[in-house]
Structure 1
Amino acid sequence: MDLAVLREDMVDSLESAVKDVLQNESVAVAMRDVPRHEFVDDDRLAYADREHEVLGTRVLAPSTVARMLQALALEDDDEVLIVGAGVGYTAAVAAELVGETNVHAIDISRPLVIEARQNLERAGYDGVLVDRRDGARGFPEYAPFDRILLEAATVEPPRALREQLTADGRLVFPRGTQHQRLEAMSATGDRTRFDAVSFDPLLVEGEQSGTIERNRTAREDLEHAIRRAESRRGWELDWIEWEESIGPQ
């Protein structure tokens, strides 16, 4: 089984009139160069246009990766942040387009960060920086970014990600809940909509697999505290205000 031939066939299929997914020549060349089998355990399935599951996350189908990177519209030497590193394949294709050291990837799951680092090193992209972070907070230490790719669904992208864009930056994300579409947002708020997609929702700290306590998420904790504060009435509110007014003794 010649994996290079399978890789060529995969890209040819995405460019074909039947699928008509891949129109950008630079993205096509990058996908022909990245050894996808280094990111998927089963060589037979590595070049099939289908999703896989690894360590509790979905490895995106090649057609989905192509759609996202085309929407991202990468240019030479762009500083790129990928939120949701997964197994590292998208980061590797981006590295072919802008250079390894210009690609930063984060994931909330520590096992996935380790997996992505190992895969990228084995595939020859060890210059890509992968770190464990809450994706909703971005990667401020390396901001600003010319391009940010969010590989998780949300109704609106987190403010931190928008604030980490350059003045002419571009953020691509799956917008929506049950019904999602790929959307690109400029730093000024202009939007472009693309094809329908299906992604898992963006997780915040405490929601990722492997956490000790998952009965209530971090977001639910905050919402619960706000509701409790707003529900205080009568003697309970008076007592709290009286305590605050007298201060420490």
Structure 2
Amino acid sequence: MPHSKITHDTVTAAVKKGTGKNKLPHSWKDPLHLLSRFLVKPHSVGSIWPSSQHLARAMIDGVALKPGDVIVEYGPGTGPFTQLLRNHVAAGVDYIGIEYDKNLYKNLTTRFSEMRFHHGSAEDTAAILKHYKLKPASLIISGLPFANMPTALQERILNATQEALLEDGMFRTFSYLLSSMRPRITHFQKMVSIRFNEKHQSTTVLRNFPPARVFSFSRPVMQK
């Protein structure tokens, strides 16, 4: 029997199909939506499966914030990191998630109605913070697919990250182990390293699909 081709339309139809007993369980809707978006815009959606709780915990591990601090999340997607960051928001920390995909943005505003989200690009982070009258961020957490991005876009986002962080702020991101040797991720690692004064020891998370490595950088080089 020949294999049918997976396309954006067939996946989108699978997400929408069915009512009553045939309705897809919620746990399948996020992965199918991610797959449909990945097929259309792989540079804005980096995975066909949501990040695991293990990766989410590694991304939040050691975060020490106080009331009034600002957290920015790039590409919240289906919200695995957002779910854990919600606890900090309840403690008085200001949060803003920047999501490029319109459907994911709408889902986030419904699911996390007490949190702030902006439909736009991480390239504009500094302007977005000013728009919402938020001070520079103590922490920026990224779920963006830097391995799939054009290098010029990587650099624009990193420039925006430098501008949006406090002098002692931290930038935390991850990449999949399978993509660690790809030219674009190699370029990203070089570009991020020259923009921060400190690089912290990375954490490998095997219990994720695909396995991933978390990177933390702090004390951004101040732009002149």
TM bracket, shorter-chain basis:
0.5 to 0.7
Q: Deviation at 1:76?
A: 2.6
Mapped pair 1:75 → 2:65: yes
Residue 137 of structure 1: aligned partner: 124
Measure, in 2, the Cα distance between the counterparts of 1:109 and 1:147.
Answer: 22
Equivalent position of 2:142 in the other structure: 150
1:41 to 26, 46, 50: 26
SS in 1 for 2:201: strand
Provide, for residues 23-62 of structure 1, a one-character-per-residue CA deviation record: whole Å limited to 9, x for no partner.
xxxxxxxxxxxxxxxxx813xx89xxxx934343542110
CA distance in 1, matches of 2:32, 2:161: 26
Partner residue, 2:179: 178
Equivalent position to 1:59, from 46, 50, 73? 50
**2:105 alignment partner, one of 93, 109, 113:** 113
Once residues 56 and 87 of structure 2 are traced to their aligned partners in structure 1, the CA distance between those partners, rounded to angstroms, is 14
Name 1:162's counterpart in structure 2.
Answer: 162
Cα deviations by residue, 1:113-153 (Å, 9 ceiling, x for unpaired): 00111111xxxxx2210111112332332341110001124
Q: Distance in 2 between matches of 1:90 and 1:75?
A: 16
CA shift in 2, pair 1:86/1:74, >3 Å: farther
Q: What is the aligned partner in structure 2 of residue 93 from structure 1?
A: 84
CA deviation profile, 1:163-209 (whole Å, cap 9, x unmatched)? 1001211110125881179x998x8521113124549xxxxxxxxxx
Tell me: CA distance 1:143–1:53, structure 2 relative to 1, closer, same or farther (3 Å).
Answer: farther
Deviation at residue 97 of structure 1 after TM alignment: 2.4
- Output the CA distance in 2 between the equivalents of 1:68 and 1:54: 23
Q: Over residues 6-28 of structure 1, what are the superposed CA-to-partner deviations in whole Å (9 max), with x where a residue is unaligned?
A: xxxxxxxxxxxxxxxxxxxxxxx
Counterpart-to-counterpart distance in 1, 2:202 and 2:72: 20
1:175–1:86 CA distance, 2 compared to 1 (3 A): closer
Report the Cα distance in structure 1 between the residues aligned to 2:93 and 2:105, rounded to whole angstroms.
17
For 2:33, give the aligned amino acid: V
| d(CA) in 1 for partners of 2:114, 2:197 | 32
Q: In the alignment, which residue of structure 2 is the partner of 1:194?
A: 202
Instruction: Supply the distance in 2 between the matched residues of 1:170 and 1:93 (Cα, whole angstroms).
Output: 17
* Counterpart AA for 1:54: H
Q: Distance in 1 between matches of 2:169 and 2:32?
A: 31
Query: Counterpart of 2:197 in structure 1: which amino acid?
Result: G
Q: Which amino acid aligns with 1:41?
A: H
Instruction: Look at both structures and tell me which one has the larger radius of gyration over its CA atoms.
Output: 1
Percent identical residues: 12
With a CA cutoff of 8 Å and minimum separation of 6, indicate the structure with the bigger relative contact order.
2
- The two structures have a TM-score, normalised by structure 1, of 0.49
Q: What RMSD in Å do the two structures reach over aligned CA positions? A: 3.5
C-alpha displacement of 1:63? 0.6
Secondary structure at the aligned position of 1:147 is classed as strand
Aligned-partner Cα distance in 2 for 1:175–1:143: 28
Measure, in 1, the Cα distance between the counterparts of 2:54 and 2:32. Answer: 16
Instruction: Compute the displacement of 1:80 (Å).
Output: 0.3
| Count of residue pairs the alignment pairs up | 147
Distance in 1 (alpha carbons) for counterparts of 2:26 and 2:175: 30
Residue 115 and residue 172 in structure 1: after superposition, are their counterparts in 2 closer, same or farther (change >3 A)? same
Could you tell me how far apart the structure 2 residues matched to 1:65 and 1:53 are?
Answer: 20
